[in-house]
Amino acid sequence: MKVNGTPYRTIWSDPQGEVVAIIDQTRLPHEFVIAHLRSLDDAARAIRTMQVRGAPLIGATAAFGVMLGMNKDASDTGLEYACTVLAATRPTAINLHWALERMRTRLAPLPARARAAEARREAAVICEEDVATNRMLGNHGLKLVRDISEKKSGPVNLLTHCNAGWLATVDWGTALAPVFFAHDAGISVHVWVDETRPRNQGALTAWELAVQGVPHTVIVDNAGGHLMQQGKVDLVIVGTDRTTGNGDVVNKIGTYLKALAARDNKVPFYVAAPSSSIDWPADDGSQISIEKRDDAEVSEVRGRSASGSMGSVRIYPETCPVANPAFDVTPARLVTALITERGMCPASKEGLAGLFPEKA
């Protein structure tokens, strides 16, 4: 996607595979800053502190993290160490484990001296595949948006939760790819952007929609149900950190509430789920470990102060008890369809088997 006219991806490596560049997402929407990762530890920290986030981008960053690890120690021990360190960063997004498993499988059979170069190549392939996948999600989702636009006057109103846009992937996004494709195709769209407490990833979504010129409105997470009741939402599209074999969707905390409201108001609820985010062996969402993050994410809010500097304020006193589960499970029964790179399917074992028979 272009930022101020310059095309960017969210992650890229120098040709030597020594430095990985990322957009530091903790600085957005106020500052657009490129950060550089030079070591395995840099990559692990970037994932853990959410300088990069979003299931697909976490996978790509992990792949580059293995590459950075191989630059320093390409032994069997070094490979295992890199995978272990990176796997421990965030428990819920499955793309992390998918990418690490893929790197391990590719690198383990090779002699140590060949691993760094192969890691560079494979990480780049993962990135290209992600971009290609998201283009396919965008094309499939575009049809949905177009169908709605042809049946109504005025813009198609989408609602999305968290950020499953360009910034959550290498390019285009998952849930937002259909939005960008529709906008580029001249279809009038407007996006209700859930702010997505506690981390306010809605600010990222609003930023990338603004950069691309897509009309949008930020709302608090509490507001989506009311807007659906008022007929102001035509469809919901969200991403997923992990979708289990039966179609249960593990995604950012609060997704479940929007799925309930969509069902109650007969608003279609779609999940953009590239196959890399599907946990095929998991029978249902109840088995998935839900990350509990730091209380400070809830108690403190970061932003720009009146003086223009970045800073934090504490909403709740130090003594105030806080809990911060990061994801929830939307049961498959509430999902209208999954949008995958191979097309749309019901959120069910049978639905997924129809599109991915080799995984069933």
Question: Which residues are known to be catalytic?
Answer: 241
Which of 34, 76, 316, 350 contacts a copy of itself by CB under 8 A?
A: 316
Taking alpha carbons only, the member of 56, 64, 75, 78 closest to residue 35 is 64
For residue 344, list its beta bridge partners: 339
Q: Identity (one letter) of the amino acid at 206?
A: A
Query: By C-beta, is 23 or 107 nearer to a copy of itself?
Result: 23
Q: Return the C-alpha torsion angle 259, 352, 107, 79, nearest 10.
A: 40
The distance of closest approach from Cβ of residue 276 to a copy of itself in the complex, given in angstroms and rounded to an integer, is 24
Q: Return the structure tokens found at 46.
A: 């970037």
Does the protein bind a copy of itself through residue 252 (CB under 8 A)? Answer: yes
Tell whether residue 198 is a contact of a copy of itself (CB under 8 A). yes
User: Residues 186, 321, 357, 358: which binds a copy of itself (CB under 8 A)?
Assistant: 321
Instruction: Report the residue number, 3 or 301, with the smaller CB distance to a copy of itself.
Output: 301
Q: Kindly indicate which of the ranges 36-44, 131-139, 301-309, 344-352 contains the residues binding a copy of itself, using the contact rule CB under 8 A.
A: 301-309
Q: Does 141 bind a copy of itself (CB under 8 A)?
A: no
Closer to a copy of itself by CB, 61 or 92: give it: 92
# chain residues binding a copy of itself, by CB under 8 A: 60
Instruction: List the one residue out of 192, 173, 172, 178 whose CA is nearest residue 148.
Output: 178
176 counts as binding a copy of itself under rule CB under 8 A: no
What is the secondary structure of 106-159 as a DSSP string? HHTTS-HHHHHHHHHHHHHHHHHHHHHHHHHHHHHHHHHHHHHHHTSSS-EEEE
How far, in Å, are 35, 48, 49, 50 from residue 24 at the CA level?
6, 13, 10, 8
Cβ neighbour number for residue 302 with a 10 Å cutoff: 15
Tell whether residue 346 is a contact of a copy of itself (CB under 8 A): no
219 binds a copy of itself (CB under 8 A): yes
Which residues 90-109 are close enough to bind a copy of itself by CB under 8 A?
Answer: none
Residue 164 near a copy of itself by CB under 8 A: no
CB closer to a copy of itself, 15 vs 317: 317
Q: Which two tokens stand for residue 108?
A: 């383990």
Within 8 A by CB and 6+ apart from 263, the residues are 269, 334
Instruction: Please say which residue, 239 or 274, places its beta carbon nearer to a copy of itself.
Output: 239
Strand (E) or helix (H) holding 72? helix 55-72
Contacting residues for 72 by C-beta, under 8 A, at least 6 apart: 39, 40, 78
Dihedrals φ, ψ of 340, to 5°? -115, 175
Taking the complex as a whole, the smallest distance from the CB of residue 322 to a copy of itself amounts, in Å, to 5
Question: Are the C-beta atoms of 37 and 46 separated by less than 8 Å?
Answer: yes
Of 129 and 291, the one with the shorter C-beta distance to a copy of itself is 291
Q: Which of 313, 350, 359, 360 is close enough to bind a copy of itself by CB under 8 A? A: 313
For residues 17 to 56, the per-residue mask of contacts with a copy of itself, x marking binding by CB under 8 A and - elsewhere, is: ------------xx--------------------------
Interface positions with a copy of itself (CB under 8 A): 29-30, 195-198, 200, 203, 206, 210, 215-227, 229, 252-254, 256-258, 260-261, 264, 290, 298-306, 311-317, 319-325, 327-329
